[in-house]
């Protein structure tokens, strides 16, 4: 989702030669291959196929594999996006080979060092030569950390580029209808973070809050492989019903399905009453679409979605989840507005800046 606008903008610049590398960190077919198809991305030029493992194992495999690519291809610049292990691993490897690094989505901070993503962000930003930011909060974070102003470029949000590009196509779908729901009368949900799903007591409390919400509105829950595994491990899978077993209109309850492709999921949540999530990107997308978002985390690296948007951080506290859900259902919820430069042109700005920097 973050690469697609960059590829599109680079393709419009004939002097830029680029290679697309898929590390294989996200290797589930429904969470990877379908995204390439939905976003009209070309097949990766190189697929490292690193797969799963501990953070150390995965990062090490990426570094070993990507070093061979860099030594063979000798790029002038490596562009990394987001905050996953691939982001940090490729940035470190490139800098050790004296290759310049550009980080898209730089400067985001949760100030929570228990999050692996926060470590990845900090390491990547320290090493990067070009830091492309989404909002003023990110700019301030980088400057407070001593980053030179010359390295920081406020360009907007590539996730929103992708959202706006595919909005019309997503509107043509009827995923909510296929699931037996009615527009605006269900909750769309994602949940996969270890802090929410890796402890039985925490997961049980969240499910109890969800059960109460689902007495009023059904919850449609495309389920992450990690979450599905933990539900089975804790013998909690019976609390989540399968949409595959649903006949006709869904009624009260928490209903799960397989992970959805980008367009299908966009259609699902853009027609929901509100969204429950522990994702980062959904906080941004719901802000642009004006959909209430309840973020089940203790913090967010995207405070712009709280300050300007439709996001409220509720943690995994059942009382806070229920209170905010009731606020939405009673109409007592903030409307929000779209942040500056979230206009669908961030990818173009990034490529224009790089073209000037490299005198193309």
**Which amino acids are annotated catalytic?**
192
Phi, psi of 47 (to 5 degrees): -120, 115
Largest CA distance in the chain: 60
Structure tokens at 223: 């389920």
HSE at residue 306, side-chain half, CA atoms within 13 A, is 14
SS3 276: strand
**Cα–Cα nearest to 339, from 284, 279, 280, 282:** 284
Phi, psi of 292 (to 5 degrees): -55, 135
d(CA 352, CA 350): 5
324, 293 contact by CB (below 8 A): no
User: Percent helix, strand, coil in the chain (nearest 5)?
Assistant: 45, 15, 40
**Cα–Cα nearest to 159, from 43, 316, 301, 312:** 301
d(CA 214, CA 142): 41
The total of other beta-carbon atoms located within 10 Å of residue 246's CB is 17
Angle subtended at Cα 299 by Cα 295 and Cα 303, rounded to the nearest 5 degrees = 85
């Amino acid at each position: 989702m973050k690469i697609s606008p960059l590829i599109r903008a680079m393709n419009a610049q004939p002097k830029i030669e680029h290679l697309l590398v898929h590390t294989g960190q996200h290797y589930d077919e429904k969470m990877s291959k379908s995204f390439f198809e939905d976003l009209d991305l070309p097949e990766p030029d190189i697929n490292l196929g690193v797969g799963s493992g501990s953070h150390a194992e995965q990062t090490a495999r990426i570094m070993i594999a990507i070093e061979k690519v860099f030594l063979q291809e000798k790029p002038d610049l490596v562009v990394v996006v987001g905050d996953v292990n691939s982001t940090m691993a490729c940035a470190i490897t490139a800098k050790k080979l004296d290759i310049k690094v550009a980080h898209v989505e730089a400067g985001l901070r949760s100030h929570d060092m228990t999050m692996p993503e926060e470590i990845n962000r900090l390491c990547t930003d320290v090493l990067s030569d070009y830091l492309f930011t989404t909002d003023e909060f990110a700019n301030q974070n980088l400057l407070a950390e001593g980053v030179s102003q010359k390295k920081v470029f406020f360009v907007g949000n590539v996730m929103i580029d992708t959202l706006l590009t595919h909005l019309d196509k997503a509107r043509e779908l009827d995923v909510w209808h296929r699931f037996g729901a009615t527009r605006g009368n269900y909750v769309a949900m994602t949940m996969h973070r270890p802090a929410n799903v890796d402890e039985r007591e925490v997961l049980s409390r969240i499910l109890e809050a969800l059960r109460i919400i689902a007495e009023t509105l059904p919850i449609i829950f495309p389920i992450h492989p990690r979450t599905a595994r933990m539900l089975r491990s804790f013998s909690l899978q019976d609390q989540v019903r399968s949409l595959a077993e649903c006949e006709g209109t869904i009624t009260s309850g928490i209903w799960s399905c397989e992970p959805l492709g980008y367009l299908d999921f966009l259609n699902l949540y853009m027609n929901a009453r509100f969204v429950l999530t522990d994702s980062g990107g959904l906080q941004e997308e719901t802000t642009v679409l004006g959909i209430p978002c309840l973020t089940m985390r203790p913090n967010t690296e995207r405070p712009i979605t709280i300050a300007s948007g439709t996001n409220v951080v509720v943690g995994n506290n059942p009382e806070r989840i229920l209170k905010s859900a009731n606020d939405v259902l009673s109409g007592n919820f903030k409307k929000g507005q779209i942040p500056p430069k979230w206009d669908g042109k961030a990818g173009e700005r990034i490529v224009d800046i790089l073209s000037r920097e490299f005198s193309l």
